[in-house]
C-alpha cells in the first residue's frame, strides 16, 4: 500500500457511527478504489506469505478477522474480494449461523474454538461469537442476565487469544436500511442470488433499531486497546473491500512477519545443485 494512511485510526469505532456511504479515509471514487484495492492486494499477499512461512517453521502468530453486520452488508463478498487476493493455503474461513442442537448443549464458545486460525494463518469469521449476544438479545431467546454475562466471557476469550499470539481485527460492516432493501430486492430478481435470500431477512429487518442498538452496545462493551472494533461504511462495495484489505495490511505491517532463515547451509546446497547441473550436462553431451 504505497499511500501512507492511518486506516485503523480513521476507522476505529467511536461513539458515533459514520454515514454508511462515507469514505472517511482512502480512495474517493469507484475507479480509484479498484486501483487502490489491486495495490493493497499485492501488499496483503506479500505480508500473508511471510506470515504463512513464519508459521510453517515454528512461529506462533496468527490474525483473526471478525466480520459482523446486518444481512446483505457484504460479509461473504468481503471474504471473496479481499481474501481471494492471497494464497488460500494461508487462510481459514468459518461461518457461524444459528447453533445446531448439539452446539446448544455446550457453552456458546465451544463451537468457536475449533475454528480458530493455526499459527501463520489469517482466520476469517463470517459472523462470530458475537452472534451469541446479538441474536438472543434482539429475538428474546435468553434472559437479559444471561446474554449480558457473555460480554465478560467474550472479553476474557479475546484476551486469551491475544496473549497466545492471535491478533484480532474486528470489523462492523455498516450498511444503511435503504441499501439493504435494494440488495434484498436483487436477491429476489437475480436467479444467481435466489439462494442467498431467506424470509427471515425481512423479519430481522423489522427489528432494525433493536439490532443497531445491540451492535452499538457490543462495540461499546467489547472494544479495547488490544481488541478494538473498526467500523467500515459498507454501502459502497468497492470502498468496503479496500477498507478491510487496508486494515489487514496495516495490522500485518505492524506485526512485521519475517521469512525464516534456512535451517541448512545455503551455500553448500547451491554447490550441490551446481554440481548436479554439470553432471546432467555432461551426461547429455556424451549421449549426443
Eight-state DSSP code of residue 12: B
pLDDT of 276 reads: 86
Helices (H), 120-230: 131-139, 144-163, 177-189, 200-205, 208-222
pLDDT of 16 reads: 85
pLDDT of 239 reads: 98
Instruction: Band the pLDDT of 248: cuts 50, 70, 90.
Output: very high
CA–CA gap between residue 147 and residue 266 (Å, rounded): 56
pLDDT of 136 reads: 97
pLDDT of 2 reads: 44
Which superfamily, per CATH, for 7-287?
P-loop containing nucleotide triphosphate hydrolases (3.40.50.300)
pLDDT of 287 reads: 60
Averaged over 128-143, what is the pLDDT? Answer: 97
Q: How far is CA 152 from the centre of its chain?
A: 23
Cell, residue 52: 504463512
pLDDT of 15 reads: 82
Averaged over 207-227, what is the pLDDT? Answer: 97
Instruction: Band the pLDDT of 279: cuts 50, 70, 90.
Output: low
- What's this model's pTM, rounded to 2 decimal places? 0.92
Cell, residue 115: 475454528
In the β-sheet with 166-174, what is the strand arrangement from edge to edge? 91-95, 122-126, 62-69, 166-174, 229-233
Report which secondary-structure segment, H or E, holds 94: strand 91-95
Length of the chain: 288
Averaged over 58-76, what is the pLDDT? Answer: 97
- pLDDT over 80 at 285, yes or no: no
pLDDT of 126 reads: 97
pLDDT of 176 reads: 98
Averaged over 102-115, what is the pLDDT? Answer: 98
pLDDT of 1 reads: 47
pLDDT of 288 reads: 56
The predicted-structure confidence for 162-191, as pLDDT tens digits, reads as follows: 999 999 999 999 999 999 999 999 999 999
Mean pLDDT taken over the chain: 94
For the chain, the structural domain boundaries read 7-287
- pLDDT over 90 at 60, yes or no: yes
- Note whether 234 and 180 are within 8 A (CB): no
In sequence order, the 6+-apart residues with CB closer than 8 A to the CB of 258 are 50, 54
pLDDT of 280 reads: 62
Instruction: Give the percent of the chain with pLDDT over 70.
Output: 94
Averaged over 102-120, what is the pLDDT? Answer: 97
- pLDDT over 70 at 266, yes or no: yes
Cell 551455500: give the residue. Answer: 267
Amino acid at each position: 500500500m504505497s499511500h501512507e494512511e492511518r486506516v485503523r485510526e480513521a476507522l476505529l469505532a467511536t461513539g458515533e457511527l459514520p454515514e454508511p456511504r462515507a469514505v472517511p479515509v482512502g480512495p474517493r471514487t469507484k475507479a480509484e478504489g479498484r486501483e487502490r484495492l489491486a495495490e493493497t492486494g499485492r501488499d496483503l499477499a506479500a505480508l500473508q506469505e511471510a506470515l504463512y512461512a513464519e508459521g510453517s517453521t515454528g512461529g506462533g502468530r496468527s490474525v483473526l478477522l471478525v466480520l459482523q453486520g446486518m444481512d446483505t452488508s457484504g460479509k461473504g463478498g468481503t471474504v471473496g474480494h479481499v481474501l481471494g487476493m492471497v494464497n488460500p493455503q494461508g487462510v481459514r474461513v468459518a461461518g457461524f449461523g444459528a447453533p445446531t442442537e448439539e452446539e446448544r448443549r455446550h457453552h456458546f464458545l465451544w463451537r468457536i474454538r475449533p475454528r480458530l486460525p493455526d499459527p501463520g494463518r489469517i482466520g476469517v469469521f463470517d459472523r462470530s461469537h458475537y452472534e451469541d449476544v446479538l441474536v438472543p438479545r434482539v429475538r428474546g431467546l435468553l434472559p437479559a442476565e444471561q446474554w449480558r454475562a457473555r460480554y465478560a466471557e467474550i472479553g476474557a476469550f479475546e484476551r486469551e487469544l491475544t496473549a497466545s499470539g492471535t491478533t484480532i481485527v474486528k470489523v462492523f460492516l455498516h450498511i444503511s436500511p435503504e441499501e439493504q432493501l435494494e440488495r434484498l430486492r436483487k436477491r429476489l430478481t437475480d436467479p444467481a442470488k435466489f439462494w442467498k435470500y431467506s424470509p427471515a431477512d425481512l423479519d430481522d429487518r423489522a427489528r432494525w433499531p433493536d439490532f443497531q442498538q445491540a451492535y452499538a452496545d457490543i462495540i461499546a462493551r467489547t472494544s479495547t486497546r488490544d481488541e478494538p472494533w473498526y467500523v467500515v461504511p459498507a454501502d459502497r462495495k468497492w470502498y468496503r473491500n479496500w477498507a478491510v484489505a487496508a486494515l489487514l495490511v496495516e495490522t500485518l505491517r505492524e506485526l512485521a512477519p519475517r521469512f525464516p532463515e534456512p535451517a541448512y547451509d545455503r551455500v553448500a546446497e547451491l554447490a550441490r545443485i551446481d554440481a548436479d547441473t554439470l553432471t546432467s550436462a555432461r551426461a547429455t553431451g556424451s549421449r549426443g
